[in-house]
Each structure stands twice: as C-alpha cells, then as structure tokens.
Amino acid sequence: MGKKKDLDSMYQELMNNRDTKEDAGARLFKFFLGLIMLAVGLFMIFQNINVSSTWGMGGYFYHIGNFGISNGMIMLPIIIGIGMLFFMRKRIYGWIVLAIGIIFVLLSVLMTTNIHWRTTNGYVFIIMFGLTAAGAGLVLRELFRKD
C-alpha cells in the first residue's frame, strides 16, 4: 500500500510539473496574441482619425486685450535666441530664449490642431475597439497574473 501511495504522489508531481511547463508556453502565447491584437486595434483606430491644423493661416495664437500675437511673431524668440547664441559669450541665455521660442511654436501648433473621426461602418468600429479591448485584457491578465 505504501508503494502505491508513493507512485501516486510521484505521478501527481510529474503531472503538475508537465502542466506548469505547458501553462508557461500558453501564457506566453496569450501575452503575445494580446499584444498583436492590441497593436492591430490601435493601428485601425489611428487609421480612421484625420488630423488637420489651421496654423499659419493668418490666425492669431494669443490675444492680450485688443492686441493679438500673430503666428509669425511667435518665430521671433527663435530668431532672437539664435542671434544670442552667436553674439553673447554666456550662451545659456541664448539657449533659454531659443527653448522658449520652440515651446511657443509647439504650443501654437498643438492649439490649432483639429482631430476628426472618419466616417466608418458599425462592423469596422466594433472590430477596431473590440480588438483593442480584447488585446489589452489579455496582456493585462498575463502581466498581473498571480500564480
């Protein structure tokens, strides 16, 4: 009777080890499948978004009372910063002015950006967001699994 018990426990241990190895491969497959599904879903979503900008079309970036700063005047700190880099001995001030100018240009472009969703049918909409949600769910489940 003792030998049968030992054989049963050895068999259970062998089966548990085999299941663990198969489970690790399956988990890795599920993770990468989820990653691919997430990537395809996000790709499809971003393919259906139109981005346009009205920057440089005679508009104004910022208004102070009745005075408006035009988009062309936003380039002025960049030009002054470049001039300061070549003129001044302490170049740190030139770099600061140049950085401020670049930040102003980036902000003005972002503030005049319009994002529009393309017209699509319901089937494609469900596929896009379904792939994204299912892929994210698989990836998160495998990442935060407690075994």
Domain ranges for the chain, please list them.
1-48+118-147, 54-114
Q: For the segment 36-57, what is each residue's pLDDT rounded down to a tens digit?
A: 999 999 999 999 999 887 766 6
pLDDT band at 83; cut points 50, 70, 90 = very high
Q: Which residue has the higher pLDDT, 91 or 20?
A: 91
Q: For the segment 102-134, what is each residue's pLDDT rounded down to a tens digit?
A: 998 888 778 778 889 999 999 999 999 999 999
- CA–CA distance, 55 with 110 (Å, rounded to integer): 9
pLDDT band at 82; cut points 50, 70, 90 = very high
pTM value?
A: 0.59
Token output for 125: 């909409």
- CA–CA distance, 78 with 105 (Å, rounded to integer): 9
- Nearest to 44, CA basis, from 135, 114, 112, 113: 135
Q: For the segment 64-75, what is each residue's pLDDT rounded down to a tens digit?
A: 556 667 767 778
